[in-house]
């Protein structure tokens, strides 16, 4: 079956605009993660969804960032009033949800804020 799908693959936006990034996880995967990767840096944890439990938002860098997930399907990451420091690749990963299950990553969305 298809892997994790992210859209758009590239997004250029002006400072101050809102953006929405989408992630379609692998069917049946109950866990979903968002990460941010700035140029030359590692993956920075943002948010984690597990089934119908309340999401772990402990990695969100500011209240401009929010994410939603509908059941065990699509997730959207929203960044309001974008800033230049938000420029990065945003990676989504899903997993079957068992303890330490391997993460399956999407190709990412490259966000550029001008």
Partner 1 sequence: AQRVTQPEKLLSVFKGAPVELKCNYSYSGSPELFWYVQYSRQRLQLLLRHISRESIKGFTADLNKGETSFHLKKPFAQEEDSAMYYCALSGRLLFNKFYFGSGTKLNVKP
Q: Is 41 near partner 1 (CB under 8 A)?
A: yes
Where residue 96 falls (left for φ over 0; alpha for ψ -120 to 50; beta otherwise) is alpha
Whether 89 and 10 have beta carbons less than 8 Å apart is answered as: no
Phi–psi pair at 85, nearest 5 degrees: -70, -5
| Matching residue, tokens 């840096």 | 41
Name the minimum Å distance from CB 84 to partner 1.
Answer: 21
User: Which residue of 23, 33, 34, 86 would you call a contact of partner 1, by CB under 8 A?
Assistant: 33
Q: Is 31 near partner 1 (CB under 8 A)?
A: yes
* Chain contacts with partner 1 (rule: CB under 8 A): 3-4, 31, 33, 35, 40-43, 45, 48, 50, 56, 59, 91, 93, 99-100, 102-107
């Amino acid at each position: 079956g298809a892997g994790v799908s992210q859209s758009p693959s590239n997004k250029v936006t002006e400072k101050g605009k809102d953006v929405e990034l989408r992630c379609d996880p692998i069917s049946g995967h109950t866990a979903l993660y968002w990460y941010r990767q700035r140029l030359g840096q590692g993956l920075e944890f943002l948010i984690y969804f597990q089934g119908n439990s309340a999401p772990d938002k402990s990695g969100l860098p500011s209240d401009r960032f929010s994410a939603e997930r509908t059941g065990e399907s699509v997730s959207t990451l929203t960044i309001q009033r974008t800033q230049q420091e938000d420029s990065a690749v945003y990676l989504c990963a899903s997993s079957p949800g068992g303890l330490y299950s391997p993460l399956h990553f999407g190709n990412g969305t490259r966000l550029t804020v001008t």
